Amino acid sequence: MEHDAPAKKTTAGPPGLNAPSAGWLVFVTSGAILMLEILSLRLVAPYLGLTLEMSTGVIGFALGAIALGAWLGGRVADSIPPQRVLGPMVLLAGVLVLFVGPAVRITGEAVRGGNATSVLIMAAVSILAPAALLAAVTPLVVKLRLQGLDETGRVVGRLSGLGTLGALVATFATGFLLVAELPTSRILLALGGTLIVLGVVLTLTLRGHRGAYALLLFALLGVGASSFSPPPCDVETAYHCARVVADPLRPSGRTLRMDTLFHSYVDLEDPAYLEFSYTRSFAAVFDAARPSEPLDALHIGGGGFSIPKYIDFTRPGSDNLVLEIDQGVVDLDVKSLGLVLGQGIEARVGDGRVGLADQPDDSRDLVVEDAFGGLAVPWHLTTVETAREISRILRPDGIYLVNVIDFAPLLFARAEAATIAEVFPHVALISRPDVLDGRGGDNLVMVASERPLPIDKIQEELQQRAPEFTLIDGDRYTRFAGDARILTDDYAPVDQLVTLHTQR
């Protein structure tokens, strides 16, 4: 007796979510996670600065959100029909993206600082919830598309590949294009709006009108919160949240604030006026060593261009080349801080360390390094290899000035002092007496040269210009550096050396 073979059971799949639609959905939501990760780094920077710990916190919570979302999405997919939750989940993720900006600003004002607790709180607020919801989409879509175990590998592999491709496209598009052209707030608004529209379409397609209206009302609240939340900066550059603050006690005075720090003070009417003590100590050094004559000066880090403008004004005929990584800072200086580029001052946009390689040997009388990412000097500018490049560029009687910020027990300052002394035979250190004694924190200015420094003249200039600062050299400098480890391109944990003791 013959028996007919049982027919294979087939299903047509959910309406409105065919293979191309499923692939695009995973592509977009996976890309949105990486966009949000990059934007979160920029949102948090005005409150915590640009530090390795902050970047690590955001990246860590992004990875944690992806893991959490994938696990929750899988549990939900096995418990609830994906058609019921997929649309609302995407829509809710879009709403949370819109709330990220206001939430970060509110939280940032409450937890300003660089300690580990602040970093973890801000990182969680900036990315955890929306990224987890977006990561939960892929398991739900996999469940919708699977028609049988014989196609598991093909479906899962295809969707995983599209998700990774979406993440790559979003990473490059955000980092190379969007951030350079648009403020973070607008990118977030566009991202959240796109996810909301996508969520509405999915909800209507997979569930019908039921339940969509309440979610749309919630979405409108998110749009309102994102639109009316005031940004913490006047200008959002490629690297910084920047703001120019007027001095209420000096009508022509302006302070440039970038992220968490006041970087520069500029007097719009008097370029010779230097407000900050460390800038006055800069002037004391090169005015003592090279009085009145024009200087060929290289500046690593522009800020408000206070020192280049001082040199240009007080020493006509000087040549100031400024290596500034952020074009937005240069534009803001020209627009709001009276910077005039041309004869005397030139700005070259690019990384300071990279720019050193283009400088000829024995071409500069003065190199001033005053570059920061948050409280820390970018690590690749602190190493013995950088100091050797500076030595190559300086003329035999040239001077190297370095500004750092540190606090007791001055782990980074001591390491940087030891590193500079490894290359230059004549060194000195300028700061407040309590800082030099290891009891406080402030700017520390390091001075280095191949030739002996005019220590007595520098001290006389300091007494006139910055009496709150003093100078140490010789044995006192050696004792200050102590047994600190030399910083190299292979070992320069600058963020950790600075941040660890700011938490004490």
Per-residue confidence (pLDDT) for residue 8, from 0 to 100: 43
What is the Cβ-side half-sphere exposure of residue 28, based on CA atoms within 13 angstroms? 20
Distances in Å between the alpha carbon of 64 and those of 33, 59, 89, 129, 131?
A: 12, 9, 18, 10, 9
Report whether the peptide linkage leading into residue 452 is cis, meaning its omega lies within 30 degrees of zero. no
- How many C-beta atoms surround the C-beta of residue 273 within 10 A? 18
Cα 65–Cα 70–Cα 73 angle in degrees, nearest 5? 115
Domains of the chain and CATH, by start? 19-230 (1.20.1250), 241-502 (3.40.50.150)
Q: Collect contacts of 8-13 with beta carbons under 8 A, ≥24 apart.
A: 10/147, 11/147, 13/144, 13/145, 13/147
Mean pLDDT by 10 residues, the chain (504 residues): 44 61 94 93 75 84 94 92 89 89 80 72 90 95 81 86 94 86 84 90 76 60 57 71 89 86 89 94 94 94 94 95 92 92 92 92 96 82 96 97 94 96 97 91 95 96 94 96 95 78 42
Q: Are 296 and 363 in contact (CB under 8 A)?
A: yes
Per-residue confidence (pLDDT) for residue 114, from 0 to 100: 58
Per-residue confidence (pLDDT) for residue 205, from 0 to 100: 83
How far apart are the C-alpha atoms of 469 and 345, rounded to whole Å?
29
DSSP assignment of 258-271, as one string? Answer: ETTEEEEEEESS-T
Per-residue confidence (pLDDT) for residue 220, from 0 to 100: 61
Per-residue confidence (pLDDT) for residue 45, from 0 to 100: 73
pTM score, whole prediction: 0.77
Per-residue confidence (pLDDT) for residue 502, from 0 to 100: 45
